[in-house]
Structure 1
Amino acid sequence: MRSRIAVPAAALTAALALALSACSSAGPGAPDAGKAPGQGSSATAASAKVDYNPQPYDNVKEGGTYTSAGTIDDQGNPFNANATLTAKRVWFWYNPDVITYSPTGEVQYNPDYLSDVKSEVVDGNQRVVLTLNPAATYNDGTPIDWTAVKATWQTNSGADKEYNAADTEGYSLITSVTRGTDDKQAVIEFKGAAPWWSSLFTTFLHPKAATVAGYNDAYVKAVHPEWGAGPYTVGTFDAKTGDLTFVRNPKWWGKKGKLDKRVYVNLESDAAANAFKNGQIDYTSAGDAEGLKRLSGVQGTGIRQGGSPFAYSFYLNAKSPNLQDIQVRKALLESVDRAQIAKIQFQGLGDYSEPLPGSLLLFSFQKGYSDNVGAVIKHDPEDAKKTLDAAGWKPGSDGIREKDGKKLTVTYTLRGNDPLEKATAGALVQMLKPVGIQIDLKTSTAADFSKILTDHSFDIFLVGNRAPDPFGTRYLCQFYCSDSSSNIVSIGSPDLDKEIHAVAAIADPDQQTIQANAVERKALEQYGYLPLFSGPSIYGIKTGLANVGATIFATPLPETVGWQK
């Protein structure tokens, strides 16, 4: 839920299917340093666009039902490693939504849960003091107080391996959560600086769910409205079908929800598209260009399209025989025309466009973004040829380069039969052939995806990463530390690790991001990643539905969702 999530890159299907839910000033020499979103070429593209009919609370009608496809799947606890993004969305409708973000990632504290927030660095260590709303109470009558903050930390810290936590990063740096001036105040102490701390406490786990059994098993094909809080609570849940209905919560102390009912119907994507066309549901993902065509023109509906928090990249395995030579990796990436790859991926999506991505950490619409990729990796096939010449790879009689009797052949792993991915692979073959690099295509299935990454059984692979929050600097080590399990491309060095860890120790988020950009440029010089595109979020939505659609990082609060007046 909170780590960078690797996802298969079968065209845009994964990117387009998810809309909800890495910080802050550009580094020296960055192309857009000092420019806010909307200034400079890299910040003016469609990837920054939101399209969700944002409406204030008072402009949303009283009553009505909002129905979409979805369910809790098997695991309904979003902190658990087995939870899906759907589980996170469902949790959001009947549990505390303590901290949310704007579309571009500005932190928003929900006053229904937090009366005051103080964050400071004391002797090099982050200290956060949360003062909780006196009225904040779980549905079972348990006060939402410092013990809820403590339970959220302890279950996700990684100290007890029995908890099947999705991500212990961040929580593991907390040294204590203690009672403040009274039960309604939590004092959180970190080891070192943690300017991204808010991503750890976007919601709270009920203390009664903080046992190993509660954390791992209580939410399996089950809901616990008594452990929840918010403007809505569970009305009905069918564990067999997965269908779920939320109704207004009579125990809610804040602004009441505008909807009479929020309904999730457990449907596969094709069935959801048909249900949308038949007027049975109000919202569904287009999925891809074909899906967009399918959902367009449905009476009483419209298409909402905007940016997404995804980044798709070519991964180069630095441990593969012919890719161990850094000069080969450099030449290979210099040979790739990223603009052509993006054109292939976006065909059929109308006039959608976006800038070429410049970072694995931040998106072009975020404060502090820097085009680190463009500063390091140029599309320059002629220079690629010179690089290979200097490295001793000479063209053979068939044009493919050779060294010590071995041809320069690299395998590209395809996932399934997706036509866009096949087109991407074909384009890559044609781009690298004139440089003297032969690409052999290898087919895999969707079920092979995780195993391929875990076993590092690839030379080149197209992989997507989803940012669960706007704090990209937090993920510098995840991508680039030599001992990171998420560094699937096997680049890095002890010296670079030291620089990365030094970035994490910088207390000021703006300064941390400046240095993170500088370190990422060094890491990109090891030529393991080539960011390619993000892609849009596209949805079919019934006319008048407010605060739903392409939101990037934003999560409109449940009480604001409904039908526009």
Structure 2
Amino acid sequence: MRARLALPVALIAAISVSATACQSSSGDGAAGSGGKGTPSAASGAADYNPTPYEKIKDGGTYTTVGTFDEQGNPFNVNGTLTATRVWAWYNANPITFSPTGEVQYNPDYLSDVKVSVKGGSQKVVLTLNKKAVFNDGTPIDWTAIKATWKANNGSDKDFAASTTDGYDQITDVTRGKDDKQAVITFKGVYPSWPSLFFTFLHPKAATVDNFNKAYVKKAHPEWGAGPYTVGKWDTHSGNITFVRNPKWWGKKGKLDKRVYVNLESTAAVNAFKNGQLDYVSAVDAESLKQLKGLEGTEIRSGGSPFEYSLNFNTKSSVLGDKAVRKAIQESIDRTQIAKIQFQGLDYKEPLPGSAVLYSFQKGYADNVSAVLKYGPEQAKKDLDAAGWKPGGDGVREKGGKRLEVGYTLLGDDALGKATAGALAAMLKPVGVRLVIKKGDDADFSNIINERKFDLFLSGNRSMDPFGVRYLCETYCSDRESNITGAGSPALDKKIRATTEIADLGQQTVAVNRVEKEALQEYAKLPLFSGPSTYSVKKGLANVGATIFYNPLPETVGWEK
């Protein structure tokens, strides 16, 4: 699963409001919309009207904004958060997590799960529900587990897999006592194994060609499974309707229909106000103001597993100099950036200290503050020492080259513009000229994949609670997902060594230690996280700010 889904800030904002709070004079505290005192952690609260299955009425329609993306396979490197959410409505959901990250097994797919460690190697035995079949009649058995592993383990580079982490530690997937049992053997121990099998690939979808191309603007409901299947998939409008699946063997879906309508965020707010949508994100203070107090609706707000960072392209000519990267980070008042992003939102949290764990999670440490202090005067000294001298117009120079750094800004979002302007204002006094380069949201993948940026602000949404699993994806120098290009083989070795620690608590301690070292590359600066805030029609059950919880489709509906 692509559990850390990268998106440009403008697109993430359309999914979830994030906010930070209370400015400190040093710039090292929390930021946001005022008020006294700063909490020690971001919100870990969930707010989604949890309702037992038997108290949800049969029937009704649930309509929200959403559409399929170009690539609908969530395992693919180009899969996105949107693709993952749509996928879950017509494909298997065997493993989910509670809001705070406890593992939950779905008995409609898994009748038994056993985990053991012998001789230092972990074995996971999954016994699959005897009734479980894909919609085309193919049994969901050990071959589906093996197909999912084979496509994602990196042994065949032609599979454009999002991440091989974890899958590459599996040495084999074999048939157990019968076809309905899969025996998964690991090299060493992998505590976060549930994140690997959140869903199953149909064996037919696990060929190179199908894995990479079959789900491009196509659904393939025949390879899916679950209480719902595709009713209408309109590639022209981008609208999708899911209906009850007559081939489903498990707990019946409560809704008659689940509808996604393809709308921009501003249009979505208006559609919700007109009663056309049942649920909408409050993307900023203005939309929250419009949505508050609407008759028959309520605001649901809670914690958010989003992390937004400023990425430095270490392969660009000017940012190849670590001293320049460090000086830029020292010049950025993260408190002010967060305050701009979330002005008018009533929320507080400390500034983020990690790119892999959230402050509401067990084992979190503020690794950023351990290696970086906000200090423009120190930044000037660092640039002086590196040979960058102030020029006549205040912009520093070295060897006839001016210290000009590009900042790639996608879209026409007002908050994005304000953030870019603030960064330029922060860097100017230390002698760095920020050159703002405009692009379209559609350019996101191209900019990331080809590193066409100096500085770029983007975010990740964690789909599971095992942030320590993604240390390599974030920081290893030989991973495409490390968009900064920073790191070294020596650091990569230390990062990969953390995956061999059996105890999750001890592994987290090691990850914090190594992340401090990775952050001293000064190539990634976590900026803000924040809450998820939504306006929802009253009576809508199991929908809202769920943190790591993805409610099973059959449990979503309207209270009796």
Same fold per TM (> 0.5)? yes
Paired AA for residue 423 in structure 2: L
Q: Deviations over 1:410-461 (max 9, x none)?
A: 3333334432222222222222233333333333333443333333343322
| Counterpart Cα distance in 2 of 1:334 and 1:491 | 18
Aligned to 2:341: 345
Gap change, CA 1:313 and 1:264, over 3 Å in 2: closer
Q: Deviations over 1:364-394 (max 9, x none)?
A: 1111111100111111223333333444444
Q: Secondary structure at the match of 1:551?
A: coil
- In structure 1, the gaps of 5 or more residues are 20-30, 32-39
State TM-score, norm by structure 1: 0.87
Say if 2:478 is the partner of 1:483. Answer: yes
Aligned to 1:521: 516
Following superposition, the deviation at residue 130 of structure 1 comes to 0.8
Of 358-367 and 458-467, the range deviating more from structure 2: 458-467
Contact persistence 1:2–1:469 (CA under 8 A): no
Gap change, CA 1:207 and 1:314, over 3 Å in 2: closer
Say if 2:178 is the partner of 1:144. Answer: no
Following superposition, the deviation at residue 3 of structure 1 comes to 5.2
For residue 45 of structure 1, the aligned residue among 39, 42, 55 is 42
Give 1:220-259 correspondences, 5 Å limit.
220-238=216-234, 241-259=237-255
Give 1:302-341 correspondences, 5 Å limit.
302-341=298-337
For residue 299 of structure 1, the aligned residue among 295, 298, 303 is 295
- In structure 2, the gaps of 5 or more residues are 18-28, 30-36
Following superposition, the deviation at residue 183 of structure 1 comes to 1.9
| Counterpart Cα distance in 2 of 1:463 and 1:110 | 33
Gap change, CA 1:87 and 1:18, over 3 Å in 2: farther
Aligned to 1:512: 507
Q: Secondary structure at the match of 1:367?
A: coil
For residue 430 of structure 1, the aligned residue among 414, 425, 442 is 425
Contact persistence 2:7–2:80 (CA under 8 A): no
Gap change, CA 1:83 and 1:502, over 3 Å in 2: closer
Q: Deviations over 1:249-270 (max 9, x none)?
A: 4544433222233233344444
Paired AA for residue 250 in structure 2: G
For residue 199 of structure 1, the aligned residue among 195, 217, 223 is 195
Aligned to 1:533: 528
Contact persistence 2:165–2:469 (CA under 8 A): no
Paired AA for residue 258 in structure 2: R
Q: Secondary structure at the match of 1:17?
A: coil
Q: Secondary structure at the match of 1:552?
A: coil
| Counterpart Cα distance in 1 of 2:189 and 2:348 | 37
Gap change, CA 1:282 and 1:253, over 3 Å in 2: same
Following superposition, the deviation at residue 49 of structure 1 comes to 3.2
Aligned to 2:350: 355
Gap change, CA 1:212 and 1:445, over 3 Å in 2: closer
| Counterpart Cα distance in 2 of 1:75 and 1:332 | 36
Paired AA for residue 381 in structure 1: P
Q: Secondary structure at the match of 1:341?
A: helix
For residue 257 of structure 2, the aligned residue among 254, 257, 261 is 261
Aligned to 1:96: 92
Say if 2:552 is the partner of 1:557. Answer: yes
| Counterpart Cα distance in 2 of 1:555 and 1:17 | 15
Gap change, CA 1:401 and 1:165, over 3 Å in 2: closer
Of 446-455 and 336-345, the range deviating more from structure 2: 446-455
Say if 2:371 is the partner of 1:380. Answer: no
For residue 474 of structure 1, the aligned residue among 466, 469, 476 is 469
Aligned to 2:6: 6
Of 301-310 and 391-400, the range deviating more from structure 2: 391-400
Following superposition, the deviation at residue 340 of structure 1 comes to 0.7
Contact persistence 2:120–2:189 (CA under 8 A): yes
Aligned to 1:117: 113
Paired AA for residue 141 in structure 2: D
| Counterpart Cα distance in 2 of 1:450 and 1:217 | 17
Following superposition, the deviation at residue 176 of structure 1 comes to 1.6
Aligned to 2:15: 17
Say if 2:539 is the partner of 1:547. Answer: no
Q: Secondary structure at the match of 1:451?
A: helix
| Counterpart Cα distance in 2 of 1:432 and 1:65 | 51
Following superposition, the deviation at residue 359 of structure 1 comes to 0.4
Gap change, CA 1:226 and 1:335, over 3 Å in 2: closer
Aligned to 1:493: 488
| Counterpart Cα distance in 2 of 1:237 and 1:434 | 53
Aligned residues: 542
Gap change, CA 1:409 and 1:503, over 3 Å in 2: same
Following superposition, the deviation at residue 406 of structure 1 comes to 4.6
| Counterpart Cα distance in 2 of 1:67 and 1:195 | 37
Aligned to 1:68: 64
Q: Secondary structure at the match of 2:124?
A: strand
Gap change, CA 1:482 and 1:151, over 3 Å in 2: closer
| Counterpart Cα distance in 2 of 1:488 and 1:552 | 25
| Counterpart Cα distance in 2 of 1:482 and 1:351 | 39
**After the TM superposition, which segments of 4 or more aligned residues of structure 1 sit over 6 Å from their partners?**
none
Following superposition, the deviation at residue 123 of structure 1 comes to 3.6
Following superposition, the deviation at residue 170 of structure 1 comes to 3.0
Q: Secondary structure at the match of 1:323?
A: coil
What root-mean-square deviation, in Å, do the aligned CA atoms of Structure 1 and Structure 2 show? 2.9
Aligned to 1:34: none
Paired AA for residue 385 in structure 1: K
Q: Deviations over 1:202-232 (max 9, x none)?
A: 1112334444565455545544444433333
Of 472-481 and 332-341, the range deviating more from structure 2: 472-481
Q: Deviations over 1:34-58 (max 9, x none)?
A: xxxxxx9665434x33222122223
Between the aligned residues of both structures, percent identity stands at: 66
Paired AA for residue 541 in structure 1: V
| Counterpart Cα distance in 1 of 2:196 and 2:550 | 16
Q: Deviations over 1:509-537 (max 9, x none)?
A: 22111101000001111211111012433
Gap change, CA 1:164 and 1:399, over 3 Å in 2: closer
| Counterpart Cα distance in 2 of 1:74 and 1:416 | 19
Paired AA for residue 414 in structure 2: P
Contact persistence 2:39–2:348 (CA under 8 A): no
Paired AA for residue 319 in structure 2: L
| Counterpart Cα distance in 2 of 1:327 and 1:80 | 36
Paired AA for residue 494 in structure 1: P
Contact persistence 1:15–1:536 (CA under 8 A): no
| Counterpart Cα distance in 2 of 1:417 and 1:245 | 30
Aligned to 2:32: none
Following superposition, the deviation at residue 559 of structure 1 comes to 1.9
Aligned to 2:407: 412
| Counterpart Cα distance in 2 of 1:295 and 1:147 | 48
Aligned to 2:24: none
